Structures are given as structure tokens and as C-alpha cells.
Structure 1
Amino acid sequence: MSASTRLLLACLSLLSLIGCSEPQRDSTIRSRGFVYCGQDTPTTFNPQLIDGGLTADTLAAQIFDRLLMLDPVSHQPLPSLARSWTISDDGLEYTFKLRKGIEFQTTEWFKPTRRFNAQDVVFSFQRIINPKHPFHAVSGGRYPWFESQGFSELIAHIEMNDSHTVTFVLTRPDNAFLSNLATSYAVIHSQEYAQRLLKAGQLQQLDMKPIGTGPFYLAQYLPDDLIRLGRHWGYWQGAAPMEQVVFDISARGTGTLAKLLSKECDVLSSPVASQLPVISNSEEFELMAQTGMNVAFVALNNDKAVLQDLRVRQAINLAINRDNLLNSVYYGTGTKAKSILPPMSWAYNHASQALDYDPDQARALLAEAGYADDLILTMWVPIEPRPYNPSPRKTAELIQADLKAVGVRLIILAQESVSRLSSTSASNSDMQLTGWIADNGDPDNFLRPLLSCSAKAAGLNVANWCELSFDNLLELASRTNQLEQRVNYYHLAQDILDQQVPVIPLAHGVHFQVHHQSLGGLQLSPFGTRSFASVYRSE
């Protein structure tokens, strides 16, 4: 069933968020918008509440804006809703001058009476850091990405100096602060909309029927079926060329490649590596590639007694043949990972002494630890392809074979979900096959949310590993303004990871995206986020 047919059925069944006026034919959708395939079903439309997935990777860039954005080349923060900023000499106060005249989206459920101002900035961040805020506990009251960064402890308070000036006062200097405000999680909500929901007692609607200042607004959502975005005519950078974007999130019927070839989809995100030759041989489609700031890795659950033994963690690392993974899963498109940080990071340790493939040494370590042939482990595996891992199931099966060769039986627990926060089987498993797409170019964005003690408390540190010496190095790196010293601290932090092996880096993937040749203006970002504000159709 095509996305356009499902749109018609949605209208007839009265399940849409807003009413539909008339049936839309495929040709109408193609002339006035496009269909995007290859994503999961969101649990919320507020990226503040999650740690990744469709909402954070793609939807947030369409619905919301942030104070800052990231330059895709230099990875440095650029103005967005904030037109400029100043930093105090002690590095504790960041004052932002906000743009004027920016309009919030108008929908069937909300029509704004004022434009964006400092109240919206204060509201958006106070909800996160203030436990007494009326919206703090809404939708579960967890802000995993911010918790992993220790954001609430970092912000002393937020001051609204005037209607278009805001000051963030920090408890300590943090070199990554501006970059963090440019991530897809640091979105700005409408305070006026929130106040109206508060009076109506409909607080959760803020997260499921969002209002932002982005180029598109949420027009329709059918879980496990489709999401439709409509053009925000009042967008401050000019209305988007496309009237609508339809996300096909259905798992029914043919696969995503078949939908692309049959023109049910115009864009396919993260095609499986084995599909690339088919796509490349077609003149109808254009294949885009972006070296990603990402990593696929296996997290070893340090809360499990058997994995608290360093020899066992080292043995598992030594047993995995990464070259085989690159050939069989990535088809030569990935890069072997020696570190959580990708080689393109300015803090990457090229002198890393990380252990590599050595099955004989792996057997010896297991025998020394008392597990010659009787060790059984479980590994949680999300099966959805991601830019850092184009085929998680195949990756898991190859790791399973590698471990069997050294006497370890691995039981694979395959799951549909990619969230590390919502699966009981994930938190109870011995290992997790997972990964990370950086939200900005700062190395802190890899190391802190994945492996710090605060990230363990937040649930993002799925290795359940907490090492104070590692955390201290991250703190020192965040406080110094000397780049050479920062690099040294990050190298020392990576040395600890090489020695302790809380996680096993596997590969850094290339982000692929394919689209019909009639579409122009599509972009890729090393951070996974991309706006559709400039997408157009040439035929």
C-alpha cells in the first residue's frame, strides 16, 4: 500500500491529528512533496526526552530550531535563533542576543499570538533543569542526553535580561557548552503554547503535538504507518519549496528498497550496504555518502560478575575479527575502530595501544579466568540498520561465530527497538551491540554521554562502567582553554578505555542516503541531522 493510499485511509478512519481535505494521488504528493523511507516509529516528537532515533536524527530539524547550529565542515557553532553571543572572562556566563520577528507554527490545535522571544528559551531549558517546573515530570520526566552531560549540575541559573537577551550562568567552565546548545536535543519550544496546555490540563500534548519555529509542522501521525509534515509558511529563513514531507514508517508489505524502486518512496535513509550495487546501477537515483562522526561498538555490562573480570573483557575484544566485519557487513565502506572517537576527530589518539584480533590470546585469557569452554553470554541486538552499522543482525552473527571459536557461546537477543532506555532485555543482557552518532564535533560528545559516571546514572552508559579517573580527565579537558592540553587529556582518557575495555569499538560507518534524481537540495551531515528546508523537485 502506497503512502498516498494510507493518507486517504487515514482521513476516512478519522485517525489523523488533523483533518484531510481530499484524496491525494501519488502524482500530487510527488509534485507537492516527497516520501521518505527507512526510519523507525517515534515514541515522542520532543527530542529532549530521548537518546536518538527518528525524532532526534531527522524530525527535530524539521519541526524545531535551536539557539545555535553546527557548521558541517568546521563543526563550529553558528548563529541560529541566537544571532550573536558573548562569553564572560571567567567562562561562566554566556549571553545570547536573539533574533526578532521569528514566528511559531500555526496548526489546527494552536495559533500563536506572539513571536519567539526570551521566554521561550528560558522555558525550554528550565523544564529540563528544574525538578519543580510544571512540565519537568511530564512524559516520564527523563532527559537522558542532558542527564548524561550533567546539564542540570552545569547550569546555575538562566536569566532573561530583556525580551531578546538571555544569559546562561554556569557552575564551572565548559568548552563544549556552545556545541551542546547546537545539538538536535537543545530545541526551543513555545512557552505560550505550554501555558495554554497547562491551563487545559493537557501537558503531554506538548511532546506529542509539538509547536516549533522550524520549516515544517507536524500535520498527521499514524503510529507504525506514516508521519506527515506540512510547510510552515512563516518560516524565518523563507518557506520551504516542498508543501509536505511524508515519512513512511510502515513495516508492512515490501521492503524499503522495493518501495524506492517502485517509486513509493523518493528518499531512502541508510540503505543496507548490500543494496548499494543495485542502487548505483540505476540512473533514476542518486546515492549520497557522508563520512560520519559515529561508531559501532559492543558494550560489556560491567554490572555482570563475569564481565567485571578484566581478562574476560580483554578476551572478548581479542576474539572479534573487525576486518571480517568490514568486508562482510560494511562491504569495504567502513573504517576499523580502535577507539570510540573516529579518526576524523581532532582528539583521536593515533598512538592507541588498543588490543586487536588475536584468538589464541583470547583463549589463553579465558582459561586463566576459569572459563575454558563453559562461558555463556547474551547480547542485545537492535535489528534496524543505522549509519554506524548497516546490518546489526549480521554483525551479531559474525561476533557469535568469533566467540564460538574461542569457546564462548553467545545468545543473540534480537529486538526491533534501537532505544537503549526502553528495553528491559537490553539492560539485563551481558552485552549490547549498539552505537553512537555524534551530536556535535567536540570529543566530549562521544566520551561523556557514553562512558561517564553521570551517563551511567542517566542510562546512556550501557556498559554500566564508572571510572573516576576517566571522569576527572573529561572535567579537566572541559575547563582548559589550551587546545594542546585538551588533546592530551583526551588521549589519556582513551588510554584508560584501551586498558579497561568497558566497550569494544567495532567500526566507523559511512552514512548513505539515496534519492530520486528529480529531488534537489538534499543534504547530509556528519552528525546525522539534516533539514529539508531547501529540498525541491525539478520535474
Structure 2
Amino acid sequence: MQGRRLRTAVAIAAVTALAVGAAGCAESERDGDSGEAKTGGTFIFAGAGDPKNFDPIFNDDGESFRPIRQMFDTLVTHKPGTAELTGGLAESWEHDESGKVWTFKLRQGVKFHDGTPFNAAAVCYNFDRWYNMKGAAAQANMIYYMDTFGGFAKNEAEGAGESVYNKCEAKDDGTAVLTLNKYKGAFPGAFALTSLSIASPEALKKYDADTVTQNGDSFAYSAFANEHPVGTGPFTFGGWDKAKGEITLNRNPDYWGDKAKVDKLIIKIIKDENTRKQELRAGTVHGIDFPAPADRKALADEGFQVIDRPAFNILYLGINQKNPKLKDLRVRQAIAYALNRQQLVQTKGPGGAKVADELMPDTVLGYAPDVQKYEYNPEKAKQLLKEAGAENLTLNFYYPPDVTRPYMPNPQEIFTILANDLQAVGIKVNGVPRPWNGGFKDDVQTFGKHDLHILGWTGDYNDPGNFVGTFFGRAKAEFGDQAMTDMFEAITKADGTVDEAGKKAAWEQVNRDLASKWLPAVPVWHAPPAIVVTKDVEGMVASPLTDERFNTVSVKQ
């Protein structure tokens, strides 16, 4: 176990150094004035899309996680501005030699927003809730839980397997003991997942949190998820005005940690990128996320604080092998050769972006420098399509035009360029724009309606399983790869390897095979996303995980 801790610390140090350097550069460029930040007032941040809901376990996207992170806490968290683990609701944790029994020493005196006590029984209630979740619709929306634990007490969702979770015991109010069925390399990092935030058991029961219903392609969630989310975080829920596109959060005066400096936090949903920028300049919002690469210098020159995060992410072109033509490796390779990714990086990537050869950053254990690479070669693409008998291929390419993501600053432009590359080698592309929540994600990740899609990932913690394992560790509608059992087995074996050298070798081989033998997706780029705030904002700590907590923020009065 000591070897694994050492490896994690080294990998995290690289990400931490980048984060500190980026924050330092932004700080040095700030305009100085005599105004003083003080507590009180309102901080208004522009969100790029609607949240799905506020129940952590049913979410997996940044627009939903942004408000959730302000209201909820996890057992383990990250030191601000880094990927380094530190205590959250658990002050400390340890595991036995097998890596299957985890003991958490919990913070004392913590209360949920509804006044009920946080204790070991509450921790176990949450873990047992997730494990015993009923209904295919509910289980299908627990994407992070599935990726982490693999299955439920009774599997009803497609693709679920045997659960890693075994049981949780409250030894006393301050000690929770979690037992797993097998070692999993994701831990302890996965205990910091926002989706595994700890909610009030009383509120979960009172507001019928486990009810998720499906009507065609749409899902409906409980009163807990939409109207009464109750955690232990620095802000409490104040309402979601869908007509105005505003989420209001209020300062929690009883927070166990550093209390919020502002009285009110408003997340204002502004889906259009230019409108977000205009409102920042007008002063009607104090911060925006993911500015267009071309806007960064202008905003900095105007006196705004443009803070770069390290590129701990990946953008990829996903390929759905439910289409029989796409089952042929030669066709998938042709798609890879057809993409002029270097030109895309140069014309649309943020400063510091680089072409990706693998589906995780090179700072993560298991990155293999000798994978097969797909340099831009349209003639090679045409040859492979001819060999596969796919010269008249037509593909439905799904993309979300209404959001800006850390790894995807302008989906419309990225789609257009990639589609043009594909059409240049003879592939006909039908573009299918769908809204991020209530459209694109359901069509792609739940129903698998697409042939191609663009999507990506910002790492939640520094482990290969959080990248490659999350994408390809089990069958998913997103990739239509149910028959790739050798891929699933290889990833499961790598994730369960305790020996440090063996783990590294296993993940490197997975990455080689992903590039040469399986190719379920084409990696596009790693891009450093930025966050921008006005010169009146102090205390914004940018995270390489895009895991910003706004309790540190104040606004000059």
C-alpha cells in the first residue's frame, strides 16, 4: 500500500504545481487598488447550462455539480486549488491490508441544513441507499455510482454487474466502516466524487428522493432533487427559478468549515457565450467559466482576472458500434486518420491545448508513450474505408450547441470542423444538435441514438480508472461496445492490481490496446480551461478538477 500512496503523491504533485503556478500568474496580473473585500453581499456567477437536478447521485455533469458542490460535502475532498486529497466530512481514513475495509473517523458536531445530526449512521444510510436503489430509470441515472461500484443489490439497469460494495457499519457516531467485495484502485480518490456527497437521511425520506420516473426519453426526479436538497455544505438551497434561469443559494451560518463570505450566491444560467461575456462586462455577473480562447487576452487587458486551470481533461470523438459499419476497426481507424486535430488545436483550442494521443493526461499513472498514433492522413482514411466497403458511409453526429464545457469551449465550431474533415474523405455527416440536459446526454448516454458524438471529461481524481475505467470499464450505450468483453476484463484487471509496478504495466497495455485494437473513441485534445472574474472579486481559487467552492469568495463593496 505504501508504494501506491507514493505514486499518487508524485502524480498529484505535478497537478498541484501546475495549479499553483496558474493561480500565481493570474494573481500577478491583477490590478491593485485600495478596495477591501468584506463579508456580505451577493456573488453572481454565470452558468453555461441548466442543471439536471440537485440530487448528487443522479448527476455527472459540471453544470449540475456547480451548485451541488456548494450545498453538499463528501467524506474525502481536495485541498483547494489542487488534486491532493484531504479530509472532508471524514477527518481521517485508513484501510486494511486487503484494501477492502475502509474506516472513516468523522467530524463531530456537524449538522445537515435541516438541523439533523451528521454521523456514521447518516453515512451508512447514504451508501445503503445507493446500493439498494430500485428501478431501472433510477439506476440508469446513477452513472458515477455504476462506474465506481459496478452494480446494485438487485440490478435493473442495463450493463450493471456484481457490486463492489458490500456493507457499511456505524461502529459509533464518529466511526463508519465500509466493506468492499474486492480491492478497487479508485479508492480513496472516488470517495471525493461529488455524486457520492452525503445527504440528510431525513430529507431523503421526507421528499421521496429515490423516485425517478421515465416518460419516453425524459426523466422526472423527486422533490428532494428539485426543491429540497439538504446537505452539510457552506450554502443552503434558496430556490431554482426556472423562468428567470436563476439558482439562489444562501450562506449557511452553521457550516462546520470556513463559512461563506457572501450572504447570497446566485448562479445565473446564460446559455449563450457572447451574452455571458456581455453581462460580465456590464457587471451584472461577477464571473464566467470557460471563455472562448480568442477572448482571453482581451478580457485580461480589460482588467478581468483570467485564471487558467491545468489541462486535467480530455475531449474525444465517441464512436457508437451499435452501427454495424462502425464495428469494423478499419472504419474507426479511417475516422481517426480523417481528423486534422492539430489544425483544430491551433485554430480553436485555448492557449496551451495539445493534441491528445490517449484518453487521459500524461500526468496519470499508466500513460503509455508508445501507443499507436493517428496523424492526419486523409488518403489513408479513404483507403481504409474502401477496404471495409464503407465508401458511402452516412453517420449521425450528435453535439450539444447550448453549453461550454472545460474540454469543449465551443461545441458548434468543433462539430463543424470535425464534420468537414469527415466529409472530405467521403463520409456523409448528418449533424444532430441536441440540448445538453434533457436531450444530448440522454440520447447519447442512455439511449445510444447516435453514430458519432463529441464529449469529454475533466478528471475527478488522479487515477487511470477515473478516465479510461469510467469510459470503457463496462458496456455503455454511448459506445455500443457490449461485445468488447476483452476490453472490460482488461480494465477490471488493471483497476484491481494492487502491486504498483504491475498496475502501471497493466494500464499502459490497456492504453495501447485502446489505440490499436479497440478504438471506441478518438482522443482529440487536452485543453486548459479558464475561469474569469471581475477585479472586485477576491478569494476565487481555481481547481484543476473544476471543483471550485465559492465559500472563499468575497466581493469588494
State the TM-score, normalizing by the size of structure 2. Answer: 0.84
1:290 Cα deviation after fit: 0.6
Which residue number in structure 1 is paired with residue 282 of structure 2? 262
Instruction: Name the SS of the counterpart of 1:220 in structure 2.
Output: strand
Following the alignment from structure 1 to structure 2, what is the Cα–Cα distance between the partners of residues 157 and 504?
38
Which residue number in structure 1 is paired with residue 495 of structure 2? 478
Residue 121 (structure 2) pairs with residue 100 (structure 1) = no
Q: Which runs of 5+ in 1 are unaligned?
A: 1-28, 106-110
Residue 556 (structure 2) pairs with residue 538 (structure 1) = yes
Identity of paired residues, percent?
Answer: 25
Q: Deviations over 1:246-292 (max 9, x none)?
A: 11114489711111111111001111222223212202x11000113
CA contact (8 A) 2:262 2:554 kept: yes
The residue type paired with residue 532 of structure 1 is F
Following the alignment from structure 1 to structure 2, what is the Cα–Cα distance between the partners of residues 138 and 332?
41
Residue 454 (structure 2) pairs with residue 452 (structure 1) = no
Following the alignment from structure 2 to structure 1, what is the Cα–Cα distance between the partners of residues 136 and 426?
47
CA contact (8 A) 1:46 1:55 kept: no
Which residue number in structure 1 is paired with residue 194 of structure 2? 184
1:504 Cα deviation after fit: 0.4
Following the alignment from structure 2 to structure 1, what is the Cα–Cα distance between the partners of residues 350 and 137?
44
Residue 142 (structure 2) pairs with residue 143 (structure 1) = yes
1:482 Cα deviation after fit: 2.3
1:345 Cα deviation after fit: 1.7
CA contact (8 A) 1:139 1:207 kept: no
Does the C-alpha gap of structure 1 residues 174 and 514 become closer, same or farther in structure 2, counting only changes over 3 Å?
same
CA contact (8 A) 2:81 2:541 kept: no
Q: Deviations over 1:330-370 (max 9, x none)?
A: 15431110010112223211222222211111111111112
Q: 1:508-527 residue pairs with structure 2 within 5 A? A: 508-527=526-545
Does the C-alpha gap of structure 1 residues 272 and 465 become closer, same or farther in structure 2, counting only changes over 3 Å?
farther
CA contact (8 A) 2:434 2:440 kept: no
Q: 1:4-403 residue pairs with structure 2 within 5 A? A: 32-56=41-65, 58-71=66-79, 75-105=83-113, 111-112=114-115, 114-131=116-133, 142-149=141-148, 150=150, 152=152, 153-197=163-207, 204-208=222-226, 209-223=228-242, 225-251=245-271, 255-283=275-303, 285-372=304-391, 374-383=392-401, 384-403=403-422
Does the C-alpha gap of structure 1 residues 261 and 427 become closer, same or farther in structure 2, counting only changes over 3 Å?
same
CA contact (8 A) 1:378 1:412 kept: yes
Does the C-alpha gap of structure 1 residues 180 and 377 become closer, same or farther in structure 2, counting only changes over 3 Å?
same
Residues 401-410 or 345-354, more deviating? 345-354
Q: Deviations over 1:102-142 (max 9, x none)?
A: 1222xxxxx42x3211121111111111146xxx7896773
Which residue number in structure 1 is paired with residue 22 of structure 2? none
- State the 4+ residue runs in structure 1 displaced beyond 3 angstroms: 71-76, 136-142, 195-199, 250-254, 418-421, 461-466
The residue type paired with residue 105 of structure 2 is K
Instruction: Name the SS of the counterpart of 2:195 in structure 1.
Output: coil
For residue 429 of structure 1, the aligned residue among 450, 472, 496 is 450
Following the alignment from structure 1 to structure 2, what is the Cα–Cα distance between the partners of residues 257 and 60?
24
Does the C-alpha gap of structure 1 residues 288 and 74 become closer, same or farther in structure 2, counting only changes over 3 Å?
closer
The residue type paired with residue 502 of structure 1 is P
Following the alignment from structure 1 to structure 2, what is the Cα–Cα distance between the partners of residues 101 and 492?
47
Following the alignment from structure 2 to structure 1, what is the Cα–Cα distance between the partners of residues 140 and 444?
19
Does the C-alpha gap of structure 1 residues 382 and 398 become closer, same or farther in structure 2, counting only changes over 3 Å?
same
CA contact (8 A) 2:82 2:543 kept: no
Which residue number in structure 2 is paired with residue 24 of structure 1? none
Residue 461 (structure 2) pairs with residue 440 (structure 1) = yes
CA contact (8 A) 1:61 1:531 kept: yes
Which residue number in structure 2 is paired with residue 506 of structure 1? 524
CA contact (8 A) 1:271 1:512 kept: yes
Does the C-alpha gap of structure 1 residues 332 and 84 become closer, same or farther in structure 2, counting only changes over 3 Å?
closer
Residue 409 (structure 2) pairs with residue 410 (structure 1) = no
State the TM-score, normalizing by the size of structure 1. Answer: 0.86
Q: Deviations over 1:62-101 (max 9, x none)?
A: 0000000124677343211111122112222111111100
1:30 Cα deviation after fit: 11
The residue type paired with residue 119 of structure 1 is A
Return the structure number with greater relative CO, CA threshold 8 A, min gap 6. Answer: 2
CA contact (8 A) 1:452 1:470 kept: yes
Which residue number in structure 2 is paired with residue 21 of structure 1? none
1:400 Cα deviation after fit: 1.4
CA contact (8 A) 1:176 1:444 kept: yes
The residue type paired with residue 346 of structure 1 is L
Following the alignment from structure 1 to structure 2, what is the Cα–Cα distance between the partners of residues 431 and 154?
31
1:479 Cα deviation after fit: 2.7
| Count of matched residue pairs | 494
Residues 343-352 or 309-318, more deviating? 343-352
1:375 Cα deviation after fit: 1.7
The residue type paired with residue 172 of structure 2 is D
Instruction: Name the SS of the counterpart of 2:316 in structure 1.
Output: strand
